[in-house]
Chain A
Amino acid sequence: MPSTPSDTREDSPPDAPGRTAPGVRIGGLSVVYRTPAGELPAVRGIDLELPPGTITGVVGESGSGKSTLALSLLNAVQPPGRISAGSVQIDGLGDVVTLRGEELRRARGRHVGYVFQAAQNSLNPLKPVGRQLLDLGRSHGVADLRALVREARDLLGRMGLDGARVLDSHQHELSGGMRQRVGIMFALVLNAHLVVLDEPTTALDMITQATILRIIREVHEERGLTTLVITHDLGVVAEVADRLAVMYGGRVVEQGPTRQVLGDPLHPYTRGLIRAIPRLVGDIGEATALPGRPPTLATIPAAGCVFRERCPLRMDLCATQEPPTVAHGGRLVACHAVEGGIREERAGAGNHGGQDGAGGPDGRDGAEDPDGRAVAAGAREEQA
């Protein structure tokens, strides 16, 4: 697919101001869900910064709170959930947690673009894509709808689709990969400079996955976006993300530059995740599942470390005290063991896991080398 990075600015919608990539600062964010057993935390005390112009990946198992975190960026946590504490500061928008009604509606779509999982149906099945594009334009008071349609066609064309034809199609006439590109188009067409992608490649085949990831990277660079990618697939993160946050039980347990986190993981959970990835070459038995299961909303421990039940490095302290997030070089890690300097012992520890764990051989690509991204990307290409 030819990429044409030169011509982007001229044909963006006329009444969208030329913005630059916004920075995002999430501070002390907590989200609780109302259940018969009371309000339970899905996301607890998250501090995360998305520097302007970067791609940040968030990985974690199902139920780790990563999608809830993504929805929080648009203040769109669905009932019975609600944001109970914290703030999400977005440059040019302010704290979205305090936005309400029309203000909030206008911010969605125009300032923050959101891309759904591919397998999900994010389009109205009864209307052609083009009509839904016009609905979007009218909702955001776009004066020149023709320019909007032109912009959409261009975007689709850049992603390798026949724009006019796609705009004329209904959802059921498009393949999964095409729908996903349409979703990306919808997130970008109003010139939003913060884009949140929730599981952008889940349920897509390997080749389409690779295409979508390339498109994400290209569009990100072309348009100068700040991008957040939510996934359970370490391979995806290794391929596109500059920075990486690992979530477990509603907490960010480790975050930092992708290469550092994947190449030299500090938190025992990150290490477990990477060890659980089956390699393309070598013995399948080398992949070790993480013992135990991830906590659900009801079983997240109220006190102490969320990961202690499955942790090979667990200490007495872990049951009573929540590990503080501590800086290690360019990285933030929340673990008593790492803090206590047990790092050196980690190589020998914790390899006694059974095969029944839910640690999830979700990820397909390995990344144990210091240069995590290169390895994972290489493996991906071999498969594709």
Chain B
Amino acid sequence: MALIGVRARPGAIAVARRLAGHLARGLAMILVVTSVNFVIIRNIPGDPIAARYEKLVEQGMSPDQAERATAVLYGFLPKGSLWEQYADYMGGLLTLDLGQSLSTPGAEVTGMLAAAATWTVIPVLAGTLLSFLLGVTMGVYAAIRRSGRLGDVLAISGSLLHGVPQYVLALLLGAIFTTLWPILPGSGTADIMIEPGLSVEYAGSLIQHATLPVLTYALASYGGWILAMKSSVVTVLGDDFILAAELRGLTRGIIFRYVARNAILPLFTILALSLGLLFGGAIFIERIFTYPGLGLLLLDSITGRDYALMGGAFLLITVAIVIANIVADMLYTVIDPRVRSGEESA
């Protein structure tokens, strides 16, 4: 604002330093998780690596060949010292090589994760943002009308939806829209009869198939948002500066913005954190709607004892959560001046 001449804040350096600290801690965290990952795979009862190697030899491979084939699978050689194996494994991670899947021979874990992630991230992101926007807006109304009937209805609907488990909601919606009133497909990502490509038909089919999962994500988290926003708005409305703004004769629009911005602040953190959890996939929802996302992939890898795939999926979840935590914290630094200056004085 030119009128006031914004004082140069030493904030930028502080923010950069904060970010650097977060990144260092995040990397350390990922290192720990991958190491644990390695140790677990290495120590699983029955030693799947040795078993695999022996099986290949039995099938007639030369020991050398069998060794290399096993290494491709798990990312490290079955023979050799623990440290050599560990170095091998970590080296592979650096080049995003997570080995090959056991259950789907020849498929790279990285590729499988990437393919599945598309089917999880986009619908969950859509569902989360939809419910966030809707929940926050309705939460404001629920707070303003809290002594009226509208407020009661909104709050009760929020509590009800918040209390229903995701899978019950998924089954319920599935029953309603695929059986009772069959207007939506109940499984898959698109009609298999339609050629995938950049056609309107295919896109329409994609959207149709994504509707139920997205709706379930949205409804399942909507209750939480409306309740959180309502209580946040009620708290801010009781703050003295809102009464002070009224007594200064500020317009309703400006006062509304004061309330909204102050009330939404704590919700941003929850939003960022919940976006990190999204890589965990919604196992129940994807299972129920046979939607080939990360949740389903993880489930399949567990039932198929596909350790390489399992390890890759866990790693992805870890990285996503670490990043989400960093984003949440940095976001707060940017939007709340109090946190910013706390950093400056530190």
B338 near A172 with CB under 8 A, answer: yes
Question: Which of B2-10, B56-64, B172-180, B193-201 is the interface stretch?
Answer: B2-10
Q: Is B251 an interface residue (CB 8 A)?
A: yes
A109 near B249 with CB under 8 A, answer: yes
Across the interface, name the chain A residue whose C-beta is closest to B246: A76
How many angstroms between the C-alpha atoms of A78 and B240 in the bound complex? 12
A121 near B240 with CB under 8 A, answer: yes
B338 near A109 with CB under 8 A, answer: no
B240 near A138 with CB under 8 A, answer: no
B262 near A126 with CB under 8 A, answer: yes
Q: Is A57 an interface residue (CB 8 A)?
A: no
Residue interface mask B5-25, A partner, CB < 8 A = 1: 111000000000000000000
A168 near B241 with CB under 8 A, answer: no
Q: Which of A78, A105, A134, A170 contacts B337 (CB 8 A)?
A: A170
How many angstroms between the C-alpha atoms of A168 and B4 in the bound complex? 7
* Shortest distance between the CB of B115 and any CB in chain A (Å): 42
Question: Which of A8-16, A139-147, A348-356 is the interface stretch?
Answer: A139-147
How many angstroms between the C-alpha atoms of A141 and B67 in the bound complex? 80
Interface residues of B in 1-51 (CB under 8 A from A): 1, 3-7
- Known contacts A110-B249, A149-B4, A168-B7; A126 and B240 CB within 8 A of each other: no
A135 near B254 with CB under 8 A, answer: yes
How many angstroms between the C-alpha atoms of A145 and B338 in the bound complex? 27
Q: Is B243 an interface residue (CB 8 A)?
A: yes
Q: Which of A126, A139, A164, A183 contacts B250 (CB 8 A)?
A: A139
Contacts of A116 in B (CB 8 A): 240, 244
Interface residues of B in 239-298 (CB under 8 A from A): 239-241, 243-251, 254, 258, 261-262, 265
Q: Is B336 an interface residue (CB 8 A)?
A: yes
B336 near A140 with CB under 8 A, answer: no
How many angstroms between the C-alpha atoms of A205 and B144 in the bound complex? 38
Interface residues of B in 220-255 (CB under 8 A from A): 239-241, 243-251, 254
Q: Is B341 an interface residue (CB 8 A)?
A: yes
* Shortest distance between the CB of B37 and any CB in chain A (Å): 42
Q: Is A249 an interface residue (CB 8 A)?
A: no
How many angstroms between the C-alpha atoms of A164 and B4 in the bound complex? 7
* Shortest distance between the CB of B61 and any CB in chain A (Å): 66
Q: Is A98 an interface residue (CB 8 A)?
A: no
Contacts of B245 in A (CB 8 A): 124
Contacts of B239 in A (CB 8 A): 121
Q: Is A224 an interface residue (CB 8 A)?
A: no
A123 near B247 with CB under 8 A, answer: no
Chain A contact patch, size range: 35 or more
- Residue in A122, A127, A128 with the greatest tally of chain B CB atoms within 10 Å: A122
A108 near B246 with CB under 8 A, answer: yes
Main secondary structure of the interface of B (DSSP, over half): helix
- Residue in B240, B247, B265 with the greatest tally of chain A CB atoms within 10 Å: B247
Q: Is A18 an interface residue (CB 8 A)?
A: no
How many angstroms between the C-alpha atoms of A123 and B241 in the bound complex? 5
Residue interface mask B292-310, A partner, CB < 8 A = 1: 0000000000000000000
Q: Is A130 an interface residue (CB 8 A)?
A: yes
Interface residues of B in 304-346 (CB under 8 A from A): 335-338, 341
- Residue in B6, B245, B335 with the greatest tally of chain A CB atoms within 10 Å: B245
A124 near B241 with CB under 8 A, answer: yes
Interface residues of A in 150-188 (CB under 8 A from B): 164-165, 167-168, 170, 172-173, 183, 186
- Known contacts A109-B248, A139-B249, A139-B251; A126 and B337 CB within 8 A of each other: yes
B3 near A165 with CB under 8 A, answer: no
A76 near B247 with CB under 8 A, answer: yes
Contacts of B336 in A (CB 8 A): 126
Contacts of B4 in A (CB 8 A): 128, 130-131, 134, 149, 164, 167-168
Across the interface, name the chain A residue whose C-beta is closest to B261: A126
How many angstroms between the C-alpha atoms of A25 and B36 in the bound complex? 78
Q: Which of B7, B241, B249, B261 contacts A105 (CB 8 A)?
A: B249
* Shortest distance between the CB of B132 and any CB in chain A (Å): 20
How many angstroms between the C-alpha atoms of A127 and B336 in the bound complex? 9
Q: Is A90 an interface residue (CB 8 A)?
A: no
How many angstroms between the C-alpha atoms of A115 and B46 in the bound complex? 76
Interface residues of A in 210-252 (CB under 8 A from B): none
Contacts of A121 in B (CB 8 A): 239-241
- Known contacts A130-B3, A131-B4; A122 and B250 CB within 8 A of each other: no
Q: Is A48 an interface residue (CB 8 A)?
A: no
Q: Is A74 an interface residue (CB 8 A)?
A: yes
Across the interface, name the chain B residue whose C-beta is closest to A76: B247
How many angstroms between the C-alpha atoms of A129 and B251 in the bound complex? 17
How many angstroms between the C-alpha atoms of A145 and B240 in the bound complex? 26
A172 near B341 with CB under 8 A, answer: yes
Across the interface, name the chain A residue whose C-beta is closest to B337: A170
- Known contacts A122-B241, A168-B6; A105 and B251 CB within 8 A of each other: yes
In the assembled complex, 20 residue pairs joining A and B whose CB atoms fall closer than 8 Å, in A order, are: A74-B247, A76-B243, A108-B248, A108-B249, A110-B249, A114-B244, A120-B244, A121-B239, A123-B244, A125-B337, A127-B258, A128-B337, A130-B3, A131-B1, A139-B248, A139-B251, A145-B3, A149-B4, A168-B5, A172-B337
- Which 10 A/B pairs are nearest by Cβ-Cβ distance? A109-B249, A108-B249, A122-B244, A130-B4, A109-B248, A120-B240, A114-B247, A139-B250, A168-B7, A139-B251
Query: A residues engaging B (CB < 8 A)?
Result: 74, 76, 78, 105-110, 114, 116, 120-128, 130-131, 134-136, 138-140, 145-146, 149, 164-165, 167-168, 170, 172-173, 183, 186
